[in-house]
Amino acid sequence: MTQPLHALVADDEEAIREMLAAVLTKQGLHVTCVADGKAAVDLYPTLRPAVVLMDIRMPVMTGLEALSEIRKIDRSASIILMTAYAAVETAVQAIKDGAFDYIIKPFDISELLLLVDRVLQMRQMQDDIAVLHRKLSESYRYDRLLTNSPKMMELCQTIAKVARSNATVLVTGESGTGKELVATAIHNNSARAAGPLVKVNCAAVPEGLLESEFFGHEKGAFTGAATRRQGRFEQACQGTLFLDEIGDISPSLQVKLLRVLQEREFERVGGNEVLRSDVRVIVATNRNLEELVRQGTFRQDLYFRLNVVTLRTIPLRERPEDIRLLAEHFLQRFAAENQMDAVGFDNRALDCLLRHSWPGNVRELSNAVERAVIMSTGRVIFPEDLPEQVTRTAEEPGEEVAEPAATLPPGEGQTLRERISQYEAQVIAECLQRNGGNRMRTAQDLGISRRSLLYKLQEYAIA
Ligand SMILES: Nc1ncnc2c1ncn2[C@@H]1O[C@H](COP(=O)(O)OP(=O)(O)OP(=O)(O)O)[C@@H](O)[C@H]1O
Ligand SMILES: [Mg+2]
């Protein structure tokens, strides 16, 4: 349910207070009236009115002083000043000091209501924008699989299908391609989503402790086992267990893993009790398991058991259409994390990103953008901000060299300020064109006021 909106009226004339209270109440506002500026300031914090109507000439504290005091409490306060014709100049000053608008006494009720309506509309818009901002930052916080690539979309469809089953899944693919993200997506889209998703990085746990990590141990099972400990299989009960880097586990643990996958049974280290856990297992590796089987380091029967459903993530170089999408996603995310307003990549920086081969895949891209955000001095990422290995690829001869964007020449001899301005002009011109020359919409899209858009159009001589 929405809260009723409050209006605060301050005027030393009782007749005006009564009249305003009557018309504003009719508009559905909760109206509170006071007779001087000081009382308005005192009431403001508890009332938090959506709109304040204040006379300028009042005893104790004038409307102008009250305006400045209220703005100290709340910079976004919407205050309409009322004044007799003689004080128009003061009212103009008041607008400069942050009043929403002023109205000259005696005024038409309809004129006043129009102003109040504009205030309320503006507040609604600000609220909507705040909600959108929140949604946007949430969508950046939760890791989602983003893609524009048809191959990856196929993978996403398979994820959706696989998620519905309880089958063991093997996720393979190069390092940094999103295997863990795939495992998370399967869990989140499965009937087990409300249960735990437990992750074990098999390569990070010392070999001697991995069995206990998987299955737990009884008190005194080995030196250092001071208490009984639950294993990850137990912890993941009714959820999903993600075993990362599965290619690295020892032959003896491979046997035990095969047993738990086939019989659904296991024992804690040092214990005899046979335990069962309702777990869905997803494993991942960036190693070639078939090759490991051929070499004899990975059991063939376990490989067959794991290989029922295999999902292969795709190297970034095989889906260049994702580079820009992901780069921009990471830019927004890291800019937000560093409290910076990032606008985008300079065309040459984008060119470097598109031409790099990304041996470290999405993780390498994410790291490169994070570094660039930290190194950048403005709102635009330039090639200089990117790691050297990324810009180096772009300089390598041989490959077809894409022209630097026509609208943005290499910028030799230009200062940083000049280049940023040039980029800004380009962004504004493009946006204006997209909006068919509509300045209001352009200003909205760019998140600036119409006034500053007009100023910039003039500055950059954009028609
Ligand atoms: N399609 C994608 N959309 C958004 N973020 C992604 C995408 N793919 C990967 N990432 C991000 O890239 C990083 C690496 O992904 P992830 O850890 O899943 O890779 P991995 O294949 O498990 O790598 P490794 O083999 O090195 O463990 C993570 O921060 C992940 O959130
Ligand atoms: Mg991983």
How many angstroms does the Cα of residue 374 sit away from the middle of ligand 1? 21
Confirm or reject: Cβ of 177 under 6 Å from ligand 1. Answer: yes
Protein residue closest via CA to atom 24 of ligand 1: 175
Q: Which of 436, 156, 111, 447 is nearest to 314 (CA)?
A: 156
Q: Taking a C-beta distance cutoff of 8 angstroms, is the pair 66, 40 a contact?
A: yes
Distance CA 285, CA 183 (A): 12
The CA–CA distances, whole Å, from 263 to 238, 267, 303 equal: 17, 12, 16
Confirm or reject: Cβ of 180 under 6 Å from ligand 1. Answer: yes
Q: Can you give the pLDDT at residue 136?
A: 62
Which comes out higher in pLDDT, residue 189 or 131? 189
Sign of the alpha-carbon torsion through 27, 28, 31, 37? negative
Helix (H) or strand (E) holding 52: strand 51-55
Q: Taking a C-beta distance cutoff of 8 angstroms, is the pair 300, 294 a contact?
A: no
pLDDT of residue 416 exceeding 60: yes
Q: Which of 127, 100, 117, 125 is nearest to 440 (CA)?
A: 125
Protein residue closest via CA to atom 13 of ligand 1: 363
- Going by pLDDT thresholds of 50, 70 and 90, the confidence category of residue 398 is very low
pLDDT of residue 357 exceeding 80: yes
- Going by pLDDT thresholds of 50, 70 and 90, the confidence category of residue 140 is very low
Q: Which of 325, 377, 431, 332 is nearest to 133 (CA)?
A: 332
How many angstroms does the Cα of residue 288 sit away from the middle of ligand 2? 15
Ligand 1 atom closest to 143 (CA): 31
Kindly state the average pLDDT of the residues 101-124: 91
Confirm or reject: Cβ of 179 under 6 Å from ligand 1. Answer: yes
Ligand 1 atom closest to 329 (CA): 4
Ligand 1 atom closest to 183 (CA): 18
Protein residue closest via CA to atom 2 of ligand 1: 145
pLDDT tens for residues 175-186? Answer: 999 999 999 999
How many angstroms does the Cα of residue 179 sit away from the middle of ligand 2? 6
Least trusted range by pLDDT, from 106-115, 275-284, 396-405, 416-425: 396-405
Q: Taking a C-beta distance cutoff of 8 angstroms, is the pair 302, 283 a contact?
A: no
- Going by pLDDT thresholds of 50, 70 and 90, the confidence category of residue 440 is confident
Which among 137-141, 258-262, 334-338, 389-393 has the top mean pLDDT? 258-262
Measured from the alpha carbon of residue 328, the closest ligand is: 1
Q: Can you give the pLDDT at residue 397?
A: 55
- Going by pLDDT thresholds of 50, 70 and 90, the confidence category of residue 414 is low
pTM of the model: 0.59
Q: How far is CA 51 from the centre of its chain?
A: 32
**In terms of C-beta density within 10 A (0-12 exposed, 13-18 middle, 19 or more buried), how is residue 380 classed?**
buried
Confirm or reject: Cβ of 175 under 6 Å from ligand 1. Answer: yes
How many angstroms does the Cα of residue 181 sit away from the middle of ligand 1? 6
Residues 6+ apart with CB under 8 A from 329: 140, 146
- Going by pLDDT thresholds of 50, 70 and 90, the confidence category of residue 424 is confident
Helix (H) or strand (E) holding 113: helix 109-141
Q: For tokens 């000439």, what's the residue?
A: 57
pLDDT tens for residues 281-316? Answer: 999 999 999 999 999 999 999 999 999 899 999 999
Largest CA distance in the chain: 97
Least trusted range by pLDDT, from 114-123, 213-222, 264-273, 412-421: 412-421
Q: Can you give the pLDDT at residue 410?
A: 47
How many angstroms does the Cα of residue 368 sit away from the middle of ligand 1? 14
Q: Can you give the pLDDT at residue 223?
A: 80
Kindly state the average pLDDT of the residues 417-445: 82
Task: Residue 121: count other Cβ atoms within 10 Å of its Cβ.
Answer: 10
pLDDT of residue 36 exceeding 90: yes
pLDDT of residue 277 exceeding 80: yes
Q: Could you give the domains of the chain?
A: 6-139 (3.40.50.2300), 158-314 (3.40.50.300), 318-405 (1.10.8.60), 411-463 (1.10.10.60)
Ligand 1 atom closest to 286 (CA): 25
- Helix, strand, coil shares of the chain, percent, nearest 5, are 50, 15, 35
Mutate which of 333, 363, 365, 369 to test ligand 1's pocket (most atoms within 8 Å of Cβ)? Answer: 363
Confirm or reject: Cβ of 247 under 6 Å from ligand 1. Answer: no
How many angstroms does the Cα of residue 284 sit away from the middle of ligand 1? 12
Distance CA 154, CA 460 (A): 45
Confirm or reject: Cβ of 173 under 6 Å from ligand 1. Answer: yes
Confirm or reject: Cβ of 366 under 6 Å from ligand 1. Answer: yes
Q: Can you give the pLDDT at residue 399?
A: 43
Q: Can you give the pLDDT at residue 137?
A: 54
Confirm or reject: Cβ of 203 under 6 Å from ligand 1. Answer: no
Least trusted range by pLDDT, from 102-111, 147-156, 173-182, 406-415: 406-415
- Going by pLDDT thresholds of 50, 70 and 90, the confidence category of residue 227 is confident
Least trusted range by pLDDT, from 320-324, 332-336, 358-362: 332-336
Confirm or reject: Cβ of 145 under 6 Å from ligand 1. Answer: yes
Ligand 1 atom closest to 284 (CA): 22
Share of the chain above pLDDT 90, in %: 57
Least trusted range by pLDDT, from 36-40, 234-238, 302-306, 379-383: 379-383
Which comes out higher in pLDDT, residue 94 or 198? 198
Q: Can you give the pLDDT at residue 444?
A: 83
Confirm or reject: Cβ of 36 under 6 Å from ligand 1. Answer: no
Ligand 1 atom closest to 180 (CA): 18
Measured from the alpha carbon of residue 368, the closest ligand is: 1
- Going by pLDDT thresholds of 50, 70 and 90, the confidence category of residue 339 is confident
DSSP designation for 280: E
Q: Can you give the pLDDT at residue 413?
A: 57
Confirm or reject: Cβ of 178 under 6 Å from ligand 1. Answer: yes
pLDDT of residue 322 exceeding 60: yes
Kindly state the average pLDDT of the residues 35-59: 92
Ligand 1 atom closest to 152 (CA): 1
- Upstream peptide bond of 320 is cis (omega within 30 degrees of 0): no
Mutate which of 141, 155, 156, 181 to test ligand 1's pocket (most atoms within 8 Å of Cβ)? Answer: 181
- Going by pLDDT thresholds of 50, 70 and 90, the confidence category of residue 42 is very high
Q: Can you give the pLDDT at residue 193?
A: 87
Q: For tokens 């894409």, what's the residue?
A: 402
Share of the chain above pLDDT 70, in %: 90
pLDDT of residue 404 exceeding 60: no
Least trusted range by pLDDT, from 195-199, 291-295, 339-343: 339-343
DSSP 3-state of 381: strand
Tokens of 155: 């993978």
Q: Taking a C-beta distance cutoff of 8 angstroms, is the pair 61, 37 a contact?
A: yes
Residues 6+ apart with CB under 8 A from 175: 286, 360, 361, 363
Q: Taking a C-beta distance cutoff of 8 angstroms, is the pair 159, 186 a contact?
A: yes
Which among 37-41, 190-194, 397-401 has the top mean pLDDT? 37-41
The H-assigned helical ranges of 6-108 are 14-26, 37-47, 63-73, 88-96
Q: Can you give the pLDDT at residue 303?
A: 96
Q: What is the mean pLDDT of the chain?
A: 87
Confirm or reject: Cβ of 231 under 6 Å from ligand 1. Answer: no
DSSP 3-state of 101: strand
